[in-house]
Amino acid sequence: MVPGSNAALTAENPSLRKVLVGFGWTITRSLGPQAELVPMAIMCGLNGQALSDEHLVFFNQLTTPDGSMEFSGREDQEQIDVDLPNVPEAVHKIAFVVYVDPDLRGPGNFSAVKSSYVRLVDETNRELLRFDVPSGNQVQVRAMLFGELYRHGGGWKFRAIGQGYQNGLAGVAADYKVSL
């Protein structure tokens, strides 16, 4: 996939019930502090904002109130599982963000991050799609919207994005109206 492209998930896979959203990256090693990346998923309503502060998952909040989305880790560096039929009807899209954890090693950015990706696989671990986030000068980027899983025509699609946030988690919180 390329930034801005869309892929039909349930239209091409009618029996698809659960997707695993896997994240991975390579970080160029240095003698200084290393960036600690954290993926997060935010369930959004039609207005593009989070339904509530409880409708997101990351390492500190492992599941949504309805249990349809949970933070896990198996094969990729980080993973989020989504149970599509159980996602509340009020959810129009799920935004997948990766941010540099400022609390672990101090302020950081994506400059050392190489070969980052997001991929979706089904319950049998068959890869449905993969988006390799384009590399570039990301010294100012502190968080990045990798992509969105969204409802379309009674099914689900995925949009590859790769949009950086210079203001990091604060920018993500402002855009999606969540308290982090």
Encoding tokens for residue 103?
Answer: 């609390």
**Contact (Cβ atoms closer than 8 angstroms) between residue 41 and residue 94:** yes
How far apart are the C-alpha atoms of 70 and 20, rounded to whole Å? 10
Q: Which domains does the chain have, with CATH numbers?
A: 6-28+35-176 (2.60.60.30)
Question: Residue 162 in contact with residue 178, Cβ under 8 Å?
Answer: no
Contact of 162 with 145, CB cutoff 8 Å: yes
Q: Looking at the predicted structure, is the pLDDT value of residue 73 above 90?
A: no
Whole-number pLDDT of residue 102 = 66
Give the chain's end-to-end CA distance (angstroms, integer).
30
Q: DSSP characters for 15-73?
A: T--EEEEEEEEEE---SSPPP-EEEEEEEE-TTSSBS-TTSEEBTTB-B-TTSSEEEE-
Is the pLDDT at 107 greater than 80? The verdict is no
Res. 113 pLDDT band, cuts 50 70 90 = confident
Reading the block at residue 51, the tokens are 């339904």
Q: What is the pLDDT of residue 76?
A: 64
For residue 171, give the 3-state DSSP assignment. Answer: helix
Instruction: Write down the pTM of the prediction.
Output: 0.92
* Range 64-81 average pLDDT: 84
Q: What is the pLDDT of residue 94?
A: 98
Q: Which of 14-23, 25-34, 51-60 comes out lowest in average pLDDT?
A: 25-34
Predicted local confidence at residue 108, as pLDDT: 75
Pairing of strands 143-152, 93-100: antiparallel
